[in-house]
A = this chain, B = another copy of it.
Amino acid sequence: MYVTVPNEFFPQAGKPIYRQRQSDKQSRVKERALITGQTLFREGDRADYVYEVVSGVMRLTRVLENGQRQVISFGYPGDVIGFPRNGRYHTECDVISAGTVKMYRRDALHSCATDVALHKFLTESALEEIALMQDHFLMLGRKTAKEKLASFLIALMNRAGTPLGQYKKIKLPMSRSDIADFLGLTTETVSRTVSEFRHKNIIALDDAHTVIVLEEDELLKIAYSN
């Protein structure tokens, strides 16, 4: 089995594949290749498409007037991103890790005239998104730096971790400041907390962007006990 704890960031982890749309092969769905650093859409752009991440990792952000940034979420394969509001995107989407996305015309969200299954898929995804974000509120509002980081690593491990002997390896394609802006911390605090986990032998680092989880139980305890 896959998901052992409430997975706040990536609730789809370990889900059956019913969200994968098999019918896409025959119906011709446009795909688009994306390179690292590219911007898929900006806040305020007219939202002609809703995207499903096929591969790669995306970052969704909002910016305050004063330049403060909040990372809303990271888009992993299977995630649907770019839900519009009043026909426009309300976040910016940047490509953290090269990949491809499927493009669905926006009207598929509102009308089931053309494709009933697609419509249902997209509305379900929107509801999923709401639930997911509600979970993240708990995180931002109430958790300490340690709890936040532990939760984040667990979520990422469940979603995108790869086995490494008896351990699990996590690739962190995003920067420390991305993580900080996602968790409502500073880069320094993220870095310090990572170091703390490392010194306690809960995790090990291959490099700054590759984490090996040595003591999953300990991470779980930190994330959810207090």
Question: Which residues of A line the B interface, CB within 8 A?
Answer: 62, 64-66, 68, 70, 72, 83-85, 90-91, 109-112, 120, 123-124, 126-131, 133-138, 140-142, 181, 183-184, 224-226
Q: Is the interface of A mostly helix, strand, loop or mixed?
A: helix
17 A/B residue pairs, CB under 8 Å, sorted by A: A62-B135, A62-B137, A64-B142, A65-B224, A66-B225, A68-B138, A68-B142, A85-B127, A85-B130, A90-B134, A91-B134, A110-B120, A123-B123, A126-B130, A133-B133, A133-B134, A141-B183
Q: Which residues of B contact A226 (CB under 8 A)?
A: 66
- Complex-state Cα separation, A113 to B83, whole angstroms: 23
Number of copies of chain A assembled together: 2
A150 shortest CB reach to chain B, Å: 14
Say whether A83 contacts B130, CB under 8 Å: yes
- Smallest CB separation, A34 vs chain B (Å): 22
Which chain B residues border A84 with CB–CB below 8 Å?
Answer: 127
Give the nearest-CB partner of A137 in chain B. B70
Counting from the closest, the 5 A-B pairs by CB-CB distance are: A141-B184, A140-B140, A85-B131, A133-B133, A70-B138
* Cα A224 to Cα B226 with chains together (Å): 33
Contact A90 B141 (CB under 8 A): no
Whole-angstrom CA separation of A142 from B64 in the bound complex: 10
Q: Which residues of B contact A142 (CB under 8 A)?
A: 64, 68, 70, 184
Which B-chain residue is minimally distant from A182 (CB atoms)? B141
Nearest B-chain residue to A90, judged by Cβ: B131
- Checking B66, B68, B130, B140 against A130 with a beta-carbon cut-off of 8 angstroms, the contacting residue is B130
Contact A72 B134, CB 8 Å, known A110-B123, A112-B111, A140-B141: yes
- Supplied contacts A62-B135, A66-B226, A109-B127, 13 more A-B pairs, CB within 8 Å: A62-B134, A64-B138, A64-B142, A85-B128, A109-B123, A110-B120, A110-B123, A111-B120, A123-B123, A130-B130, A133-B133, A133-B137, A142-B184
